[in-house]
Structure 1
């Protein structure tokens, strides 16, 4: 059980070393803030700034970062529970948080032991950096395991140009993890993943996408151009990252997120049903069986 909300000091950011119970209490507080703005976020396709101010205040962006690098070292189970809480409050905030944690998991699992990526983990914890992902590409679409663009290396520097039909919250991120072919002559499936910091890349808007119910993810299309040091490339093939971490973690966190959204929808339906029942004492509304089934399923 999470501690009561009153036991958490709102004026004090959460410490780096926190228990699962403390993280969940912080998530509930962030969710309260997210819920206040959820309708406006979706109506205006606005990034959920207020929700993420609260998420940063309580150091939830570094929940999965190992304690050795300044994070909470939370388990995937705990992070999934946070996604569920945030998803119930604001679908956009929950989705952005889940996508961020998927990228963090990739760095933790495949960048640990590499000095540049370990320093990035420390920065995620100390600065509460928000990570986005650029895996889709024009002419390839959402085929995760194929890339058209390539990392072009000269000396110890790289150049990357990617035409992405969607980079969720790319314009609001502090870093983007992008996929590309290993080099200009590599096959589409011979991919690497590159960590791009905000100073490394430029984004030019290409298109917009009305992401029904999650408009606050700001999932626009961009021309992404980046330059950086080759040490920013994760040291293992993207195929290993995708199979071992990105795909399974995505399924777990998105399932938790959607469960949170469904739970909130059912609670709204239940409240509506109760209002109908009070208006007509002695008779059950036609929705009674459906609502009861939905409550039991959730």
Structure 2
């Protein structure tokens, strides 16, 4: 498998930094190779991509965003997005797990504040290459991550949480679960905190399995989540702020990068099919060739959308007022909607370009797995819910003061 146009943007400078980025590119390439080798089996058996994740641990890829002074490599979100793009071309599930891990890690990195517990936790991520999972879907909330039913309980320094987590992607395989919860049992469902529980703090009792159309290797089963820990494990800032300033923009941009990788792989297969068909027919293009042109066009639009919004996020990353502004919140939210729709359109066009060779489940040009995986994109935090929320925010014309850096 050939991975297209993958680069690490920090690799543009000269000297030691260039050597470090070249080393990182080599480590990423190793994971991409392993992920591609096992991708078909991961999908067919709906199993966690163990070999690829172990390769990530060995290559130190789970602490790429952790700051240098805490043992990580301090890479930018753009660099993480590039890795997501490369992994997305190899194995969708591996790429999405990598993206989800770094979305959770970014929340801790950017909102630790003066918490000594969380600074030590970030060192543990780097030292032990801990895999983080996120739990934000609960009970009957239908994917509304800004409402929690279960509340933090306990007094003094000890806390407990008992939560019906209807989806925890790769929860059984994770070393850490970062979860939302109501701040207390006497507050509204939107008054949330984000809590970090490490394995040993919690138990998982199966609620539901994961036999899905695509993204089968993410092992997104449901569990009754019961945890006990210290109050210090609660991140010091309210989840309302964490969600708006980090969780939403980071997850949307990294998910979109994964989807772009899947789409790029589909376009690559369509191109290979057309070239082979043309050679076999003396240069005549197959009937679906025009759909290849359309697939290339929508892929370019998708990548440009991601690139521009990554640049916008990184330019404002240390400015809560800019990140919390209504126009930014609207743009980053709609990025997820637009990216998912473009990715689906790209893969559909690629399949039409490849014709029956793409539609078949066997053969070198099969695109069945790509299509099944990409169809998850509009459903992950449902696009209809997002559009309704954006409409409400636009009509209100403002965002809460905590998102404008005023609290």
TM-score normalised by structure 2 residue count: 0.68
Return the structure number with greater strand share. Answer: 1
Instruction: Using the TM superposition, give the Cα deviation of residue 112 of structure 1 relative to its aligned residue in structure 2, in angstroms.
Output: 4.1
Instruction: Using the TM superposition, give the Cα deviation of residue 27 of structure 1 relative to its aligned residue in structure 2, in angstroms.
Output: 1.2
Work out whether residues 70 and 122 of structure 2, in 8 Å CA contact, stay in contact via their aligned partners in 1.
yes
- Give the 5 Å matches for 1:116-195: 116-195=117-196
Distance in 2 of aligned mates of 1:18 and 1:44: 39
In structure 2, runs of 5+ residues without a counterpart are 1-5, 9-17, 300-407
Instruction: Using the TM superposition, give the Cα deviation of residue 65 of structure 1 relative to its aligned residue in structure 2, in angstroms.
Output: 0.4
Match of 1:14 in 2: none
Match of 1:243 in 2: 244
Distance in 2 of aligned mates of 1:282 and 1:20: 42
Work out whether residues 99 and 132 of structure 1, in 8 Å CA contact, stay in contact via their aligned partners in 2.
yes
Relative to structure 1, the CA distance from residue 108 to residue 162 in structure 2 (aligned partners, 3 Å threshold; closer, same or farther) is same
In structure 1, runs of 5+ residues without a counterpart are 4-16
Instruction: Using the TM superposition, give the Cα deviation of residue 213 of structure 1 relative to its aligned residue in structure 2, in angstroms.
Output: 2.6
Relative to structure 1, the CA distance from residue 30 to residue 140 in structure 2 (aligned partners, 3 Å threshold; closer, same or farther) is same
| Runs of 4+ more than 6 Å apart | none
Match of 2:376 in 1: none
- Find the residue that maps to 2:210 and give its secondary structure: coil
Relative to structure 1, the CA distance from residue 244 to residue 201 in structure 2 (aligned partners, 3 Å threshold; closer, same or farther) is same
Please tell me whether residue 100 in structure 1 is matched to residue 85 in structure 2.
Answer: no
Distance in 2 of aligned mates of 1:261 and 1:176: 27
Match of 1:63 in 2: 64
Instruction: Using the TM superposition, give the Cα deviation of residue 26 of structure 1 relative to its aligned residue in structure 2, in angstroms.
Output: 1.7
Relative to structure 1, the CA distance from residue 248 to residue 20 in structure 2 (aligned partners, 3 Å threshold; closer, same or farther) is farther
Bigger Cα displacement from structure 2, 20-29 vs 85-94:
20-29
Bigger Cα displacement from structure 2, 266-275 vs 219-228:
266-275
Match of 2:50 in 1: 49
Bigger Cα displacement from structure 2, 166-175 vs 52-61:
52-61
Instruction: Using the TM superposition, give the Cα deviation of residue 207 of structure 1 relative to its aligned residue in structure 2, in angstroms.
Output: 0.6
Match of 1:286 in 2: 287
Distance in 2 of aligned mates of 1:282 and 1:119: 62
Instruction: Using the TM superposition, give the Cα deviation of residue 2 of structure 1 relative to its aligned residue in structure 2, in angstroms.
Output: 5.6
> Deviation per CA, 1:158-215, whole angstroms, max 9, x where unpaired?
1100101100000000000011100111110000011000000000111123333310
CA RMSD of aligned residues (A): 1.6
Return the structure number with greater helix share. Answer: 2
> Deviation per CA, 1:82-141, whole angstroms, max 9, x where unpaired?
111111100000000000000110000001431100111000000000000110111212
Instruction: Using the TM superposition, give the Cα deviation of residue 296 of structure 1 relative to its aligned residue in structure 2, in angstroms.
Output: 4.3
TM-score normalised by structure 1 residue count: 0.92
Instruction: Using the TM superposition, give the Cα deviation of residue 228 of structure 1 relative to its aligned residue in structure 2, in angstroms.
Output: 0.4
Q: Which has the higher contact order (CA 8 A, sep 6+)?
A: 1
Relative to structure 1, the CA distance from residue 19 to residue 74 in structure 2 (aligned partners, 3 Å threshold; closer, same or farther) is farther
Please tell me whether residue 109 in structure 1 is matched to residue 110 in structure 2.
Answer: yes
Match of 1:228 in 2: 229
